[in-house]
Copies of this chain bind each other. A is one copy, B any other.
Amino acid sequence: MNHSLTADLSEAVEEELRRAVQQADGSGLAEFRHMLAYHLGWEGDGAGAEARGKRIRPLLVLLTNAAAGCDWRRALPAAAAVELVHNFSLIHDDIQDNSPLRRGRPTVWKQWGIPQAINSGDAMLTLAHLVLLRLSETSPAEVALQAMQILQSACLHLTQGQFLDLLYEARGDLTLDAYWPMVNGKTAALLAACTELGALTANASPAKCRAYHQFGHDLGLAFQALDDILGIWGDAALTGKSAESDLLAGKKSLPVLFGLSQNGPFARRWQQGPIQPEETGPLAAQLEAVGARAYAQEAATRLTDQALQALSEAGPRGEAGEALIALALQLLDRQG
């Protein structure tokens, strides 16, 4: 990946995000804006690059836009919008999952209480839509409206996926079929919106927009399957930091759902109640023995191939095209 290009992009994204969040400010509202700036990693204890997260979604928008032949600056409102939507969902997720930490810092609800955290998430979502409207300054009104439709559809999918995720928490009778609709909503829909928005704002043909959409979608699914594997067999999950194992969190990930579908010792243990830290190693080995890891890896490989195939059909060009491919490979090969 060309570091000076992605560095330029990242800097411009932060600037567009700051400009968007500035709209929340006003007389007596400094703390309101600060809560959003805190969550985005700009302010408060522990602010900095790590607290900001990787900003993968806006990079996907801008690299797609440039790889489709446009000046990426035109897509900046869309890039900021998807990052704000992502962060809206994180603020609400953290409340819903009762998570005290996010990127190593106290979550918004931990700092300001649940009522203000709900409201901060609502504001973050609203700012996402407001910044997206800035597209109409540089694109035809029809394009801005299409962009709005794409982002809103992704938001609806997000809430649908979240509904399923919350519903599954209470259920022990899930099958593998339950997995894809949830992950489609929670991960793939927004990544698909990223690449589609990048292509749309580049004035790409409908066919090219579809190919980029497919790329983002499959990339999201592949990423999630790989993330699920790392959540059980990754270094952090297996060694020392067992608190990071998805088994402890009770997450209904792809290997776990595969394991449950086997109705063997793993399924029986899972249904008895929360997994303890000392069990994560043996249970991970048990899951691997029944083929859960191979199953998830196979799905990830298939989806990765599909994603790269769709990207190849989209025909990304130039330096940005190379950077886009590199970003995808980086996301899909996080063990290296």
Contacts and interface: CB of A to CB of B under 8 A. Distances in A.
Given A126-B159, A130-B152, A115 B96 contact: yes
Given A28-B181, A96-B118, A163-B29, A126 B142 contact: no
Contact of A122 (B31, B115, B125, B133): B125
B116 A163 contact: yes
Given A24-B160, A141-B142, A156-B23, A118 B92 contact: yes
Interface stretch (A48-56, A143-151, A301-309): A143-151
A270 interface: no
Q: Is the interface of A mostly helix, strand, loop or mixed?
A: helix
A119 interface: yes
Nearest to A91: B118
Interface residues of A, number: 49
A271 interface: no
A133 B156 contact: no
Nearest to A144: B145
A116 B26 CA distance: 31
Interface in A106-159: 114-116, 118-119, 121-123, 125-127, 129-130, 133, 136, 140-142, 144-145, 148-149, 152-153, 155-156, 158-159
A167 interface: yes
B118 A118 contact: yes
A32 B160 contact: yes
28 contacts: A24-B156, A24-B159, A26-B160, A28-B164, A28-B178, A28-B181, A29-B160, A31-B163, A92-B118, A95-B115, A95-B118, A96-B114, A96-B115, A97-B115, A119-B159, A119-B166, A122-B158, A123-B159, A123-B163, A126-B155, A126-B156, A129-B148, A130-B149, A130-B152, A130-B153, A130-B156, A133-B148, A145-B145
The 9 closest A-B pairs by CB, nearest first: A141-B141, A96-B115, A123-B159, A126-B155, A32-B163, A130-B152, A129-B152, A141-B142, A119-B162
